[in-house]
Amino acid sequence: MTTYDQDIILLEQLHTGDPAAFATVYNRYRNPLRYLAESLLNDETDAQDIVQEFFIAFWEKKLFTHIDPALSKGDGTLIRNYLLRCIKNKCLNHLSRNKRQAISLQQTLLEETTPENSYIPERQLENKELELQLLRAMAQVPPQAARIFALAYGQSKSRKEIAAELRISSQTVANLLARAVKRLRTALKNSRQTCGTSPANNVY
């Protein structure tokens, strides 16, 4: 029996709600999908989360009904290609969403660290040196503080929600979040000085 024939049988079984068919798909493609996600995101945890969430939706929302056998090349890549395409799109969306959030946060922090009446050129938001400063600063933030920062700014969760999720007090959340933000603010100030954009040079 060819891989194509196996795919057709698996699809038929999935359509009947056979959990064994889902288990077969999961076990067969879990690792290749995770490797793809990790290569795109360069983050093992995010990659695992995306793949896991996708498989849950694949079964519960019956995403397998979107696989059209008529589009197959007959080479046994019917299910595989669909899964890889879905994971690739999810990873690209994840990266795009994180980039928008980072730009928004970056602009907010710049505004908070800029004296009133000072001027920052728009191009500074795209400055590569500034981006590197931020990345280096985040790498120095303690893991738990970095996670809280991601939950607060990346997922827009409240301190109360973060405290409940991590099983710590709201005050601890506030303290660790303040530590992460302070380090980023310092990095931004240093970057502005390095780039010659100190307030003294930019006040009208």
Higher-pLDDT residue of 66 and 142 is 66
Q: Which two tokens stand for residue 35?
A: 């490797």
pTM: 0.52
pLDDT tens for 52-104 read 999 999 999 999 999 988 776 666 688 998 999 999 999 888 777 666 555 55
DSSP 131-196: HHHHHHHHHHS-HHHHHHHIIIIIS---HHHHHHHHTS-HHHHHHHHHHHHHHHHHHHHHHHHHTT
Domains and CATH numbers, the chain: 3-95 (1.10.1740.10), 113-202 (1.10.10.10)
Amino acid identity at 42: N
pLDDT tens for 6-38 read 888 999 999 999 999 999 999 999 999 999 999
Residue 198 confidence (pLDDT) = 42
